[in-house]
Amino acid sequence: MLRRIGVLGLIAGMLASPVTAQVADLRSTTQFRVCADPANAPMSDRDGTGFENRLAEFVGETLGLPVTYSWFPSGMGFVQRTLRMGTCDVVIGYAQGDELVQNTNHYYTSVYGIVTRRDGPLAQVDRLTDPALKDHGIGVVAGTPPATHLARAGLAPNMRGVDLFVDRRVEDPMGDLLEGVRSGEMGAAVMWGPLAGPRVKDDPDLQFTPLLHEEANPRLFYRITMGVRMEEQEWKRELNSLIRRNQDAINDILHEAGVPLVDDYGKALLP
């Protein structure tokens, strides 16, 4: 009986070892391989100008590895066609809690905000229940948390929705929202900070005001992590250590890009 158990154990070990090897072998040790959208400015772009590109270069340099990319449009199938297929090893920006990936510790928290003209009648608005919004069209990405807040505030008739998951190589829904505010077609647009902040940072006409005072659910702030494969605990721990040791440098990159950074509870801007 003991001999039989030993043989069965050996067979089980032999059967399991290729699977273990395959998991371990997915991550490259010679490149920092990044899964990214080729046309998701200002986050990632094939030309390398996105702030996630700059973060990737920083991480690659810190690890002593050259950065390479596996490009695929974000949205349905992104994780399956990149990270899970083993063509890359990390998604630079992923919302904490998403079950499609294993999240590292978060390295920044950001928030939705309202984009208005600097010289417009809504320039002082900092919450979605402000009565001044009732007289203006409001741009918003369909299905996002701010749309729920706007509807609850009785502003559904004012909403001008755009779709986020389009082929951004040929469409630019975020740019359309900003142009609508700039032209006066809409009084405001409610947008995710990392998408809007960098675009209006140096804009002479537009401003971004973070929504820090909304109390009701769904929440408007999210903690952003790096995403890795579920099985790769050691890789996650290595990235966690890198984030912890280099948080100030990471913040500098994000601040320079114009990403609005807030505390972990979405209540105050970081200096």
| pLDDT per 10-residue tile (average), the chain, 271 residues | 38 39 72 97 97 98 98 92 97 92 98 98 97 97 96 97 83 94 98 98 97 95 97 97 98 98 97 89
End-to-end Cα separation, the chain, in angstroms: 68
Q: At what angle do helices 247-257 and 51-63 cross, to 10 degrees?
A: 160
Place of tokens 């999210």: 222
For residue 24, what pLDDT is reported? 52
pLDDT of residue 83: 97
- pLDDT score recorded for residue 53: 98
pLDDT of residue 18: 40
Q: Give pLDDT, residue 32.
A: 98
Q: Are strands 188-192 and 159-162 parallel, antiparallel or unpaired?
A: unpaired
- Judging by beta carbons within 10 Å of its beta carbon (0-12, 13-18, 19+), is residue 203 exposed, middle or buried? middle
**211, two tokens:** 């929504």
Whether the model pTM is above 0.85: yes
